[in-house]
């Protein structure tokens, strides 16, 4: 058998094995067997030294043509196998476009956020601005400038989270009021919402981290009548136009005189029910006229300016407005509870 016949037989043998290859791994084994370093065609090239010098160019051309033909067969069959594999994959992974799509679960505002936005809307409508401040605060702003003396129980480590002797986690948002007064830009009409921290045990009505909204007005000729009128309007906007307010004497170090404010029960209209514990009234906030000492420490002349301040717990507003009986529900992230809002 001459070289041409030998190469034709090699080509035919390779073609049969290529066509019999049922997957890419088998096909690669055929490629290595014929075109690899130790393959059939490579062995023929190595035997060129036994060919007469005048025949070597012709034989070399025949070997190269055979290599090209085998490579073409390999490439075509590789493509055919890949197409077949892709077709099988498409059939196995077919998508039924008539099936309903998975519904996207879109979140919504938290009850606290809804209540906060409602309170902000009411006070911004009265001409107030919303001011924020740091949650990690100096004792000077958290206590001293609010007329809270050194021996006051609020300064005890059992009530306040201290970072060191001078810095603590704010126990109310009143420091924002002190910082605003220090700027000396009068008059002031502001509310200060934000997170506060107190060393309380977690139960249905307490948490070591909660939210407050405190308000402050400083101007000339501000009286307790202005405070009462403001809070009456706030209560009616928040709980309904029939809501009544009641002021009870109280004591806060940073206001004088001070009061606790109750609103008529919006469930029973003041007749008495389980929601208001039969009293017809619900306590919502504390307030009072800004103490002259606070004004002085913040650089404001109490002989020329007066003002009032008030503070309400945001969680308390949310609990009352949505008739929630356990504060812990606001923080447990139970989707069954949150979906109600």
Rounded to an integer, the average pLDDT of 291-313 is 93
Whether residues 255 and 126 share a domain: the answer is yes
CATH number at residue 322: 3.30.930.10
User: Which of 60, 92, 124 corresponds to the end of one domain?
Assistant: 92
Partner residues linked to 288 by β-bridges: 258, 309
Q: What confidence score (pLDDT) does residue 16 get?
A: 79
Mean pLDDT of 109-119: 90
28 and 135, same structural domain?
no
Quick one: CA dihedral 31, 32, 37, 39, positive or negative?
Answer: negative
Q: Looking at the structure, do residues 60 and 199 belong to the same domain, yes or no?
A: no
Q: What is the pLDDT of residue 339?
A: 81
Q: Supply the mean pLDDT for the chain.
A: 84
Percent of the chain with pLDDT over 70: 91
Whether 106 is in a domain gets the answer no
Q: 81-90, long-range: CB within 8 Å, 24+ apart, which pairs? A: 81/21, 81/22, 81/23, 81/24, 81/27, 82/24, 85/24
d(CA 263, CA 284): 7
Are the beta carbons of 34 and 18 closer than 8 angstroms? no
- Residue finishing a domain among 92, 124, 141: 92
How many Å separate Cα 73 from the centre of its chain?
58
- 158 and 53 together in one domain: no
Tell me, what's the pLDDT at 96? 73
Q: Which residue has the higher pLDDT, 174 or 34?
A: 174
Segments forming the whole domain that contains residue 65: 3-92
Check whether residue 233 and residue 322 sit in a common domain. yes
Please indicate, yes or no, whether residues 22 and 140 belong to a single structural domain of this protein. Answer: no
**Into how many domains does the chain fold?**
2
Whole-number Å distance between alpha carbons of 284 and 260:
8
Residue 295 lies in a domain: yes
**Cα torsion 50, 51, 56, 62: sign:** negative
Contact partners, residue 143, CB within 8 Å, separation at least 6:
152, 154, 155
Q: What is the pTM of this model?
A: 0.66
Residues 85, 115, single domain; the answer is no
The confidence score (pLDDT) of residue 2 equals 67
pLDDT at 131: 94
**Claim to verify: residue 47 and residue 13 sit in the same structural domain:** yes
How would residue 48 be classed by pLDDT, with cut points 50, 70 and 90? Answer: low
Using the Cα atoms of residue 253, residue 132, residue 202 and residue 238 in order, give the sign of their dihedral.
positive
Any domain includes 306: yes
pLDDT tens-digit map of 305-320:
999 999 999 998 888 8
- Calculate helix-pair angle for 224-239, 314-321, nearest 10 degrees: 40
Q: Are both 60 and 163 inside the same structural domain? A: no
CA angle 127-132-138, nearest 5°?
135
pLDDT band at 188 (very low <50, low <70, confident <90, very high): very high
User: For the packed helices 56-92 and 3-20, what is the interaxial angle rounded to 10 degrees?
Assistant: 10
pLDDT at residue 253 is higher than 60: yes
| Local structure of 223: helix, strand or coil | coil
| Residues 265 and 181 both lie in one domain | yes
Residue 288 located in a structural domain: yes
H runs (alpha helix) in 207-309: 224-239, 292-297
Comparing 142-151, 193-202, 255-264, the range with the smallest average pLDDT is 142-151
Task: Please state which of the ranges 20-29, 126-135, 251-260, 299-308 shows the lowest mean pLDDT.
Answer: 20-29
In a domain, 15, yes or no: yes
Per-residue confidence (pLDDT) for residue 78, from 0 to 100: 81
Largest CA distance in the chain: 125
Q: Are residues 123 and 162 in the same domain?
A: yes
Are residues 278 and 244 part of one domain?
yes
Q: Strand, coil or helix: what is 219?
A: strand
* Average pLDDT, integer, range 189-212: 89
CA distances for 276 relative to 104, 150, 231, 252, 263, angstroms: 40, 37, 20, 25, 10
Residue 238: Cβ-neighbour burial (10 angstroms; 0-12, 13-18, 19+): buried
* Lowest-confidence segment of 29-33, 98-102, 153-157, 161-165 by average pLDDT: 153-157
- Is the separation of the CB atoms in 265 and 273 below 8 Å? yes
């Amino acid at each position: 058998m001459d070289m041409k016949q030998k190469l034709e037989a090699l080509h035919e043998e390779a073609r049969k094995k290529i066509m019999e290859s049922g997957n890419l791994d088998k096909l690669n084994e055929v490629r290595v067997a014929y075109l690899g370093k130790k393959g059939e065609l490579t062995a023929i090239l190595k035997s060129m030294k036994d060919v007469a010098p005048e025949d070597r160019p012709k034989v070399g051309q025949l070997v190269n043509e055979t290599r090209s033909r085998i490579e073409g067969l390999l490439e075509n069959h590789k493509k055919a196998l890949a197409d077949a594999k892709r077709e099988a994959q498409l059939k196995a992974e077919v998508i039924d476009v008539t099936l309903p799509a998975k519904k996207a679960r879109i979140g919504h505002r938290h009850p606290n956020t809804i209540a906060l936005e409602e309170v902000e809307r009411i006070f911004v409508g009265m001409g107030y601005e919303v001011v924020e401040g740091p949650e990690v605060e100096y004792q000077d702003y958290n206590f001293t400038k609010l007329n809270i003396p050194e021996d006051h129980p609020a300064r005890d480590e059992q009530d306040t989270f201290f970072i060191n002797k001078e810095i603590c986690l704010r126990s109310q948002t009143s420091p924002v009021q002190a910082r605003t007064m220090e700027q000396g830009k009068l008059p002031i009409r502001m509310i200060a919402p934000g997170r506060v921290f107190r060393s309380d045990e977690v139960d249905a009505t307490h948490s070591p981290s909660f939210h407050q909204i405190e308000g402050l007005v400083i101007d000339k000729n501000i009286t307790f009548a202005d405070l009462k009128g403001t809070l009456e309007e706030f209560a009616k906007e928040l709980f309904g136009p029939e809501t009544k307010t009641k002021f009870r004497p109280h004591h806060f170090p940073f206001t004088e005189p001070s009061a606790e404010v109750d609103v008529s029960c919006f469930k029973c209209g003041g007749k008495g029910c389980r929601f208001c514990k039969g009293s017809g009234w619900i306590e919502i906030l504390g307030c009072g006229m800004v103490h002259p000492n606070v004004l002085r420490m913040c650089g404001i002349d109490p002989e020329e300016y007066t003002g009032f301040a008030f503070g309400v717990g945001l969680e308390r507003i949310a609990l009352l407005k949505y008739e929630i009986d356990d504060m812990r529900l606001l923080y447990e992230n139970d989707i069954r509870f949150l979906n109600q809002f």
